[in-house]
């Protein structure tokens, strides 16, 4: 994409980059007072912040308990406090926060290493020292934050001390820029044959920012930018041909959205000379986010992603760059970002949000249906242009997708924009999440998805486990995906054939999940439904109230109905679903047959 159009000499076109006002510029005083007051008030909470250390115990705890949170919260609190006070100083302009900003910059520079604790796995989750430097999410994010500090407040900081700038440039160069230039073996770069994911554009974005805002050597900048070109090209080449982000919409902001941010900055810093926004695959990568939108904050959330993923202003700008009206309408619905502490503090996106201009587009975009043919993900809604009625999504695919769950044949159903049958998602990450024991985690297994189990045997992870004979039919009345599931399971499941059809019928205002199966002998069979609202088992079926409507679920065949409560005690799952989920098990013993689950609305 980039290297097909541009060579090393073309990187010389990338020059001045002044995307936002700096400290003292009049635009800071024109910010909506309600917005500025929130940022200043939040920053005021840290005016006496003592910059508590990242203790040795926080690293060692990870090895003992597998929990990332103790280190993670402190790590992000320090950076959020620094970022908040940088912004507040620009907004208020009274010198109230500058000493604490300098304290924070030095405190961050004094950290022995910026790599995340998981990066210490090779040393048995020991304590990092001053030689443990890698280019990863946390190190590159930290370097970019410091670069923005000097972009915004550089003159004010220099007036206090010239040595702060020198310290930051030395540390950022040693820990990030030099290693980026010297190493080709980082898996996320796309040069090693390893699978890349959102780390690629995310790390590359931070490197671009560091090169533009901190690096003075033109040769280093040219080498760095061209390596970014090569790395982003490798990422796009590995991306699904249908534009699907198999990590899910939550990760799209860093994945496809992050790719756009890289290209946006390169375009602006080159005065428009670097421009690949006419690329067809890039267009599909952007449009993916509209194809998985349900309503409000809800998106289709297969794999590790959250179901609630607030719409970013990036969607609007991406859509405008590629000329996609649907993306612009969806992006127009983005809400103002609120200051947060225990999260990534990303100045580029936050500043775009603070200085965002009103859009002309009517917010909201509700396409009737979509089909991601390479990845095997179908989405459809009952009424185009509205969240009213049913929303259905279903997936085929394989069990070696990024952030994979064993979930072939899974589906989600929403009613009037509210969740009925769901993909649970994931808890806060731990060491186990990214270990060989990942598939022991309950919500990653197929029996906690809307899938099938035979003889107590679940789906297996790996590329050798996949759907077959996948077909999708979509017209004005019907959206239907069909697939063969036998290869998603190991041989000891005894499946000769298991064909699943998942259909939204607009004419009948119904959803049907039909399973035609043949087993090698009579075996216990379980079909699972994971519900976000409480079910009521009645003589004529399972009843729900969701989205202001009554819903009836009926199953053909003679099966036992078992309802299990799943109390949610973990913070990430509770943010998405509240306090309780429900697992419905339709259980029987059979050797072959056809079973249909039908879902209808408005049933008394």
Domain 369-601 has CATH 1.10.357.10: no
- Residue 175 contacts by C-beta under 8 Å, 6 or more apart in sequence? 113, 114, 133, 139, 143
Q: Which residues on adjacent β-strands are paired with residue 468?
A: 484
State mean pLDDT over 286-307.
96
pLDDT at 175: 97
Cα angle: 549, vertex 553, 559; to 5 degrees: 160
State mean pLDDT over 431-455.
95
Alpha carbon 426 to its chain centroid, in Å, reads: 12
In the chain, count H helices and then E strands. Answer: 16, 19
Within 13 Å of residue 590, how many CA atoms lie on the same side as its CB? Answer: 21
The Cα 361–Cα 343 span in angstroms is 30
The Cα 240–Cα 369 span in angstroms is 19
- Residue 500 contacts by C-beta under 8 Å, 6 or more apart in sequence? 409, 452, 482, 483, 485, 513, 514, 515
Q: How far from each other are the two terminal CA atoms of the chain, in whole angstroms?
A: 56
At residue 155, what are phi and psi to the nearest 5 degrees?
-65, -40
pLDDT at 272: 98
Strands 398-399 and 462-466: antiparallel
State mean pLDDT over 266-295.
98
Residue 359 has pLDDT above 80, yes or no: no
Residue 460 has pLDDT above 80, yes or no: yes
Residue 360 has pLDDT above 70, yes or no: no
Average pLDDT of the chain to the nearest whole number: 95
Closest by Cα among 4, 576, 600 to 250: 576
Residue 191 has pLDDT above 60, yes or no: yes
- Beta-sheet strands, E only, within 195-340: 293-295, 298-299
Alpha carbon 7 to its chain centroid, in Å, reads: 32
At residue 41, what are phi and psi to the nearest 5 degrees?
-65, -40
pLDDT at 583: 98
Please tell me the pTM assigned to this model: 0.96
At residue 80, what are phi and psi to the nearest 5 degrees?
-65, -40
Residue 522 binned pLDDT confidence (cut-offs 50, 70, 90):
very high
Are 412 and 300 contacting, i.e. CB atoms less than 8 angstroms apart?
yes
Q: Which residues on adjacent β-strands are paired with residue 531?
A: 421, 582
pLDDT in tens, 68-84: 778 888 999 999 999 99
pLDDT at 57: 86
State mean pLDDT over 334-344.
87
Residue 339 binned pLDDT confidence (cut-offs 50, 70, 90):
confident
pLDDT at 357: 80
pLDDT at 126: 82
State mean pLDDT over 148-154.
98
State mean pLDDT over 191-200.
95
Closest by Cα among 43, 18, 30, 31 to 148: 18
Residue 565 has pLDDT above 60, yes or no: yes
The Cα 460–Cα 444 span in angstroms is 11
State mean pLDDT over 384-409.
96
Taking the CA atoms of 42, 44, 50 and 51 in sequence, report the sign of the dihedral they define: positive
Percent of the chain whose pLDDT exceeds 90: 87
- Beta-sheet strands, E only, within 506-558: 510-531, 536-538, 541-546, 549-555
Q: Strand, helix or coil at 280?
A: helix
Within 13 Å of residue 40, how many CA atoms lie on the same side as its CB? Answer: 17
Closest by Cα among 470, 507, 504 to 487: 470
Domain ranges of the chain: 22-183, 201-365, 369-601
Closest by Cα among 350, 345, 383 to 364: 383
State mean pLDDT over 337-350.
90
- Residue 348 contacts by C-beta under 8 Å, 6 or more apart in sequence? 19, 144, 148, 205, 209, 261, 265
Quick one: 308 exposed, middle or buried, by C-beta within 10 A (0-12, 13-18, 19+)?
Answer: middle
Residue 604 binned pLDDT confidence (cut-offs 50, 70, 90):
low
State mean pLDDT over 157-186.
97
pLDDT at 603: 62
Alpha carbon 496 to its chain centroid, in Å, reads: 36
Are 531 and 544 contacting, i.e. CB atoms less than 8 angstroms apart?
yes
Are 426 and 513 contacting, i.e. CB atoms less than 8 angstroms apart?
no
pLDDT at 471: 98
The Cα 436–Cα 244 span in angstroms is 26
Element (H, E) at 227: helix 218-238
The Cα 407–Cα 405 span in angstroms is 6
DSSP 308: B
Q: In this structure, how many other beta carbons lie within 10 angstroms of the beta carbon of residue 194?
A: 13
């Amino acid at each position: 994409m980039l290297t097909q159009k541009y060579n090393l000499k073309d990187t010389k076109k990338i020059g001045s980059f002044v995307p936002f006002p700096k400290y003292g510029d009049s635009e800071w005083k024109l910010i909506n007072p309600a917005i500025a007051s929130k940022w200043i008030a939040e920053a005021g909470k840290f005016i006496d912040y003592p910059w508590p250390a990242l203790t040795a115990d926080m690293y060692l705890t990870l090895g003992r308990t597998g929990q990332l949170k103790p280190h993670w919260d402190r790590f992000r609190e320090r950076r959020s406090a620094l970022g908040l006070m940088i912004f507040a100083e620009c907004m208020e302009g009274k010198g109230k926060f500058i000493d604490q900003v300098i304290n924070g910059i030095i405190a961050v520079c004094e950290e022995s290493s910026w790599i995340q604790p998981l990066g210490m796995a090779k040393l048995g989750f020991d304590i990092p020292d001053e030689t443990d430097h890698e280019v990863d999410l946390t190190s590159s994010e930290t370097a970019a934050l410091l670069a923005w500090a000097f972009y915004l407040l550089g003159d004010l900081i220099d007036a206090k001390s010239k040595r702060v700038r020198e310290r930051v440039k030395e540390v950022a160069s040693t820990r990030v820029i030099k290693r980026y230039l010297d190493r080709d073996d980082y898996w996320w770069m796309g040069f090693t044959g390893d699978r890349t994911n959102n780390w690629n554009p995310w790390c590359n974005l931070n490197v671009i920012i560091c090169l533009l805002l901190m690096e003075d050597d033109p040769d280093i900048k040219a080498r760095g930018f061209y390596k970014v070109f090569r790395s982003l090209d490798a990422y796009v080449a590995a991306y699904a041909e249908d534009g699907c982000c198999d990590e899910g919409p939550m990760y799209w902001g860093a994945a496809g959205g992050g790719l756009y941010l890289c290209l946006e900055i390169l375009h602006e810093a080159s005065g428009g000379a670097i421009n690949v926004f006419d690329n067809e695959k890039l267009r599909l990568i952007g449009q993916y986010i509209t194809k998985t939108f349900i309503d409000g904050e809800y998106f289709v959330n297969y794999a590790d992603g959250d179901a609630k993923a607030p719409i970013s202003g990036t969607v609007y700008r991406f859509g405008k760059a590629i000329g996609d009206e649907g993306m612009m309408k969806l992006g127009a619905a983005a809400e103002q970002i609120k200051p947060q502490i225990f999260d990534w503090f990303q100045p580029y996106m936050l500043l775009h949000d603070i200085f965002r201009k009103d859009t002309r587009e009517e917010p909201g975009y509700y396409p009737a249906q979509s089909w991601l043919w390479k990845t095997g993900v179908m989405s459809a809604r009952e009424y185009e242009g509205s969240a009213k009625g049913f929303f259905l999504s279903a997936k085929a695919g394989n069990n070696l997708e990024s952030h994979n769950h064993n979930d072939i044949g899974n589906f989600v159903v929403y009613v009037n924009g509210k969740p009925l049958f769901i993909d649970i998602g994931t808890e806060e990450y731990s060491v186990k999440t990214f270990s060989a024991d990942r598939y022991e985690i309950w919500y990653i297994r197929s029996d906690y998805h809307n899938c099938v189990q035979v003889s107590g045997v679940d789906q297996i992870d790996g590329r050798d486990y996949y759907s077959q004979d996948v077909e999708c039919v979509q017209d004005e009345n019907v959206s239907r995906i069909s697939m063969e599931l036998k290869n998603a399971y190991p041989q000891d499941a005894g499946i000769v054939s298991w064909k699943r059809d998942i259909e939204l019928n607009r004419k009948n205002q119904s959803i049907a999940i039909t399973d035609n199966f043949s087993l090698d002998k009579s075996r216990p069979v379980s079909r699972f439904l994971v519900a976000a609202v409480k079910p009521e088992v009645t003589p004529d079926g399972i009843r729900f109230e969701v989205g202001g409507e009554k819903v009836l679920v009926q199953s053909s065949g003679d099966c036992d109905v078992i309802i299990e409560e799943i109390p949610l005690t973990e913070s990430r799952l509770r943010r998405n679903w509240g306090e309780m989920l429900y697992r419905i098990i339709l259980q029987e013993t059979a050797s072959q047959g056809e079973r249909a689950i039908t879902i209808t609305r408005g049933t008394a």
